[in-house]
Structure 1
Amino acid sequence: MPLIDRNNIIFGCVAPPPNESQNSGEWIHQVNEEAIAALERERDGAGLSFKPTEKNHRRGTYFAKADGVSAGGGQAHPKRIYHSKKTAAALNRLRHERAFIKVAGHASAVFAHWSPKLFNYYGEVMDKLKANDPSLTFNFPNSIFACCTYNLGPRTIAVEHLDHLNYIYGWCSITSFGRFNYKKGGHLILWDLKLVIEFPPCWTILIPSSYLIHSNTCISLEETRYSFTQYTAGALFRYVDDGFRMRTEMEDDIRKEAQAMQRDRIQEDLNIYSTLDDLKFLYNI
């Protein structure tokens, strides 16, 4: 189900899990249970350690851990988020879980289908980053995104927020897991659009999370809910556009010029989204 504005521009979508067998419910149950088991194992088995800001943060009160390639925050260049050896080992186990590999690839494929021009732009940036620094390793070989966050609940209920560090016109993928009644709770709310969307386990929603305020509705106390998000930081796009330099390294006049170019680029990026007519022509429908 694409999310479309009054000009038929697609700015997001809601996607069910892929039907890999005759019984799609089997896929949902298997992946959901595998993801739940892996998250609870690493959260409760002392695999992951959490800072106070990863338990109670601006998105809500639940355990969360980010993993992947990012930039900004005083870094001299893009690199993987630093973690202790024990936490890094736990995150490595999660990256190799079949459930997360499947979900990461599915979200990336949905992105490519509904916003091919934006997806290709992501691919160009990722290719340039890898060519400039072959030592960079990304989370999943079947995903276009540079970073991810595991939201380990046990009741992942996000409050109203923006993901302001993501690429401003980029799409963020959100996949839901857990044991909860999705008819009664766990819905995604898009406040600017006055939309409330049912969000069953193993479904994926892609939205421009840096400019659409979003949150989740509550679930019952006896229920559990988790989520897995993928995204790419805006700083990575700026780093590539600025000739593989961080803004903090630039002289004032060069930095002002780069910022002016970025403002112009933002207007161009409005045209990177696809319309329904674009996709009908592309897919010969």
Structure 2
Amino acid sequence: MLANSLPIAADFNSYGMLEDTSGYLTRPTRISGEVSKREWTLEQLCGEGGLGFELISVKEGSGPLPLIDKNNKVFGCLAPPPDNDEKLASDLNEAATAAVERERDGKAGLLFVTSEGDHRRGKYLAKSDGISLGGGQTRPKRIYHSKKTAASLDRLRHEHAFIKIAGHASAVFAHWSPTLFKYYAETMDKLKMNDPSLQFNFSNSIFACVTYNCGPQTVAVEHLDWLNYLYGWCAVTSFGCFNYKKSGHLVFWDLKLVVEFPPCWTFLFPSSYLRHSNTCIGPGETRYSFTQYTAGALFRYVDDDFQIRSDMEDYIRKEAQSKQKDRINSDLNIYSTLEQLQVLYNS
């Protein structure tokens, strides 16, 4: 992968992420007054008279495009589909699209409430599935769904297309951020050992939760996924029928970058920290996405010896908070440089 990669140099210092965290999550105040509900076209961002964002194009047959910060740290990556074969990618795109369109119909499967069609990320249907912690939960558990929706999600979990996409995203994660991936793996292993009843979505993926963004026109507005682990990577795979040269780009507001995002490509990046969105798609086009992620609260729960902070005695909570501050500094080196990856894979 390294030999065929085309790095994207960004005006970004990942060490600065330290300033906006208490240890596991982005500070909510960071998004105060910043989140916009407006959808943007490619021309408005990159065209003449636009906002001056830089457009990153994906060349046919391209290898991975790692995001590199000022210190040569890899803090994200856009990866081609599994096998990087045009015909196989087209088949995978068709299969994933057909599965979501089949289950999106309430008669056949997924049932949506109003908040799952008009939310802070945009106006499109979305359904999450997997292990969560927060909102008053006393322990990690799978997100509750009605019997009909649960059956629909189970069918999606057994779709070959999503099994392949899930495993591919996890493998890309392991390749481009091995230290971070190891932290995920060790934490999830501890979580499963503590509670063997927890069922992960995909046996070949490191992530605890997924969201099926069912569109039919999935255009996210500027937002942060601030409940995810701050330094963690979120894996987003796009699919559907849209012209990726003109629409559906991934927009990084902090980096002033707009990146082409072809169907069945996967983008991994710290979605909790980097404000992001998509460009509009054309009339009659469809765009969906499959997002994998892990809540920051799960890492904190494991590091706190499987306890919820609100349930701790005061002195234990203070000790946990002190330990949390100490571990922030170790997170500064959780991303790898290109040189470190070259040494690792050439040794």
Deviation at 1:253, TM superposition (A): 3.1
Post-superposition CA distance 1:165-205 (Å, at most 9, x none): 00010000000001000000000001101110000000000
Pair 1:235 & 2:297 matched: yes
Task: Tell me whether 1:95 sits opposite 2:154 in the alignment.
Answer: no
SS in 1 for 2:129: strand
Contact kept in structure 1, 2:76 and 2:269, CA below 8 Å: yes
In the alignment, what sits opposite 1:37?
98
Q: Which residue of 2 aligns with 1:164?
A: 226
* From 188, 193, 198, the counterpart of 1:126: 188
Write out aligned runs for 1:145-184 (5 A): 145-184=207-246
In the alignment, structure 1 residue 219 sits paired with structure 2 residue 290: no
Alignment equivalent of 1:11, drawn from 64, 69, 75:
75
Q: Secondary structure at the match of 1:193?
A: coil
CA offsets, 1:240-261, max 9 Å, x none?
0000001121123322332232
Task: Please report the RMSD computed on the Cα atoms of aligned residues, expressed in angstroms.
Answer: 1.0
Q: CA deviation at 1:270?
A: 1.3
What is the alpha-carbon distance in structure 2 between the residues aligned to residue 30 and residue 248 of structure 1?
A: 48
CA separation in 2, counterparts of 1:158 and 1:247? 33
Can you give the 5+ residue segments of structure 1 that lack an aligned partner in the other structure?
none
The structural deviation recorded for 1:58 is 0.2
Is the Cα contact below 8 Å between 1:161 and 1:213 reproduced in 2?
A: yes
Partner Cα separation in structure 2 for residue 61 and residue 256 of structure 1: 41
The corresponding residue for 2:86 is: 25
Give the drift of 1:18.
2.1
Report the identity percentage: 72
SS class of match (1:125)? helix
Give the aligned residue type for 1:167: Y
The aligned residue for residue 104 of structure 1 is: 166
1:68-110 superposed Cα distances (whole Å, 9 cap, x missing partner): 0111111111010111111100000000001000000000000
CA–CA separation in structure 2 for the residues paired with 1:256 and 1:52? 40
Q: What residue identity is the alignment partner of 1:39? A: V
Provide structure 2 residue ranges, at least 5 long, that are not aligned to the other structure.
1-64
- What's the TM-score, normalizing by structure 1? 0.97
Aligned AA for 1:33?
E
Do 1:159 and 1:216's aligned partners in 2 also have CA atoms closer than 8 Å?
A: yes
Q: 1:228 is aligned with what amino acid?
A: F
Encode CA deviations 1:213-245: one digit per residue, 9 max, x unaligned.
000000012100000000000010000000000
**Which residue matches 2:198?**
136
1:59 — aligned with what? 121
2:207 and 2:293 in contact (8 A); partners too? yes
Once residues 153 and 103 of structure 1 are traced to their aligned partners in structure 2, the CA distance between those partners, rounded to angstroms, is 18
Which residue of the partner structure matches residue 245 of structure 1? 307
> 1:45: how far off?
4.3
Whole-Å Cα distance in 2 between the matches of residues 179 and 109 of structure 1?
A: 26
Choose from 49, 70, 73 the match for 2:111: 49
Out of 109-118 and 43-52, give the one that drifted further.
43-52
Cα deviation for residue 61 of structure 1 reads 0.3
Residue 267 (structure 1) shift: 2.0
Contact kept in structure 1, 2:82 and 2:165, CA below 8 Å: no
State the 1:263 CA deviation: 2.4
Q: Match of 1:192, SS? A: coil
